[in-house]
Each structure stands twice: as structure tokens, then as C-alpha cells.
Chains A and B, each alone.
Chain A
Amino acid sequence: MRQVWWKILTVVLLLNTFIAGFLITVPNVGNLEHTIRNSFFHIPMWITQFVMVSVSLIYSIRYLRKPDIKNDIYAYEYAKSGIVFGSLGLATGMIWANYTWGASWSNDPKQLGVAIALLIYLAYFVLRNSMPDLDKRARVSAVYNIFAYFIYIPMIVVLPRMVESLHPGGKGVEGNPGFNGDDLNVAMKWVIRPAYIGWVLLGVWITTLRLRVQLLAEKKSNSHFAS
């Protein structure tokens, strides 16, 4: 394993998240009771998705500046991981909502925005896989990926804050959904911030594994052409 220290950091941070996340005393907010501990697992999914698709955006821009097929593979794999974490965030959110908002789907602006954003990203995968020509595929999907990102951000970050929402951080509610100052006590903040880093690092770890396999396959198909 190359560069092992950040993988150890991932393990430590996530074990800390699980253990401390279950053991610390939490404030009683509304009807949340113990489910406020979901903050250590549900919110980091979205943070991780946000980081993954942002990295994907960077690689798509890099591809357009310098058409190296590696940039395309990086953009694709990071977007894919982003969607995996986004789907997990949606699923965990629905479980949580079922027991606190009364229904797993209540057309909350954030739920709707996320559903649309996920579909836009799924279209990216369909589009990318529909083209056999490698260079064309990379260029078109890079352009689409940039477009998808700038639809995704308003959908998930901007719009839900401009309307009334069941989520914290909606219209008329103070604070940020991730760092809601009033609802989280000091102990929770000390768990949730390392949790963000741990989950993001886990996302990067999984993505780099997939990337390394993809690059190996790429190398192999190239050596086929050469021989």
C-alpha cells in the first residue's frame, strides 16, 4: 500500500466516529431523541458526495485544458463515488425522516433537489457509456459533467435554503444544515468534524482503488494495441 498514513487516519477517524457517536451524551432537540446521532453518519454522506463531485469537476476541467485520458477516468470514477455516497445519504435520510418527520418522503425541497441532482448525474453515466469513441466520449462527458455540477449545487445547496424546509437551515431557520450552531453541543461538534474528514477520506480511498484498477486496465489495453 502506497502512502499508508492517511489510510490509517481514515480508520482511526471512522472508528472514533462510530464509538464516540454512540457514546457521547447528546442534546434533546425536538422529537429527534437519540436519532440526532444520525448527524455523524447521514450528513457526512452529503459532505463526501460534495467533495467527490467537486474533485470530478476539477478533473473534467483539467481534461478540457489538457486532453489526457487519465483526467477523464479520474472525473468518471470520482463522480461515480459521489453518486454512491449521495444514494447512501438519500437512503439514510429517508430512514431518518420516516421516524422523525412521519414519512420517508415528504417532498421536502432538499429531497426533491437531491432526486433531480442524482438523475442528472445518472444521465452523465448513460451519456459517457453511450459513446464508443474514446476521445469524443471523454470530451463530451467532461462538458456534461461541468454542466451537471452547476445544476447540482443550486439544487442541493442554494434552493433548499431559499424555501421552507424540514431540514435545518431552510428559510426562517438559523444556521447551516451541516454546522447548525444551536442544535449541536460542543461534544457533538468534536465528533462531527473529524467524522466529515474520516468519511471523505474513506470516499477518496475507495475511489483511488477503483482508479488504480481502471488505470491498470487502460495500460493493458494500450499494450495490446502496441503489440
Chain B
Amino acid sequence: MKKIILSFIYLFFSIIVLAQDSTVALTNRQATGLRAEGKIYVVLAVSVTILTGLFIYLIRLDRKISRLEKGS
């Protein structure tokens, strides 16, 4: 359980970083937020989401194998 909470904390770190960067991107006149800089930040959000999903999957797999090891 502790690890799942930890992984969510890391997810939030990435959102904080995103939020900070959208202010930097405000220099672009028309596009703001995630739409700035040719919408590259959308790509960032997508890849970080995929990475986080893979990590959660990996952590769950790890815990499942740990349970198997304990059982045998």
C-alpha cells in the first residue's frame, strides 16, 4: 500500500512540473497552457502517463510475484 501511495506522489510531482511550465509557455501569444510550443506538452503528458501506467503495472506484478514466493 505504501508503494502505491508513493507512486501516486510521483505522479503528482510530474503534474506540478507541468503546471510550472505552462506559465513559461505563456510567452507564446496565441497558444497557452498545454497548447503552447506546437502542443509538445501534450506529448509530454501522454508519455508521462504511459510511463506511470507501466510503472504501476510493474509494481503490481512485482507484488504478485512476492506473494507467490511467500506462498511456496
Contacts and interface: CB of A to CB of B under 8 A. Distances in A.
A18 B43 CA distance: 10
Contacts of B21: 23
B24 to A, nearest CB: 9
Given A1-B59, A216-B68, A22 B10 contact: no
A2 B10 CA distance: 20
Contacts, number: 57
Nearest to B20: A23
The contact size tier of chain A is: 20 to 34
Contacts of B14: 15, 19
Interface string B40-72: 110110011001100100110111011011001
A198 to B, nearest CB: 10
Chain A interface helix/strand/loop/mixed: helix
Contact of B59 (A7, A15, A22, A212): A7
Interface string B1-32: 00100110010011001100100000000000
A205 B58 contact: yes
Given A14-B55, A22-B47, A216-B65, 8 more contacts: A2-B66, A11-B10, A11-B55, A12-B10, A14-B51, A15-B13, A18-B47, A212-B69
Given A8-B6, A15-B13, A216 B69 contact: yes
Interface of B: 3, 6-7, 10, 13-14, 17-18, 21, 40-41, 43-44, 47-48, 51-52, 55, 58-59, 61-63, 65-66, 68-69, 72
B48 A18 contact: yes
Contacts of A22: 40-41, 43-44, 47
Contact of B48 (A15, A205, A212): A15
Contacts of A220: 72
Contacts of B40: 22, 34
Q: B13, B41, B52, B65 — which one has the most chain A CB atoms within 10 A of its CB?
A: B65
30 contacts: A1-B62, A1-B63, A1-B66, A4-B3, A11-B7, A11-B55, A12-B10, A14-B51, A14-B55, A15-B14, A15-B52, A18-B44, A19-B18, A19-B48, A22-B40, A22-B43, A22-B44, A22-B47, A23-B21, A34-B40, A205-B58, A205-B62, A209-B58, A209-B61, A209-B62, A209-B65, A212-B65, A212-B69, A213-B65, A216-B69
Contacts of A7: 59, 62
A206 interface: yes
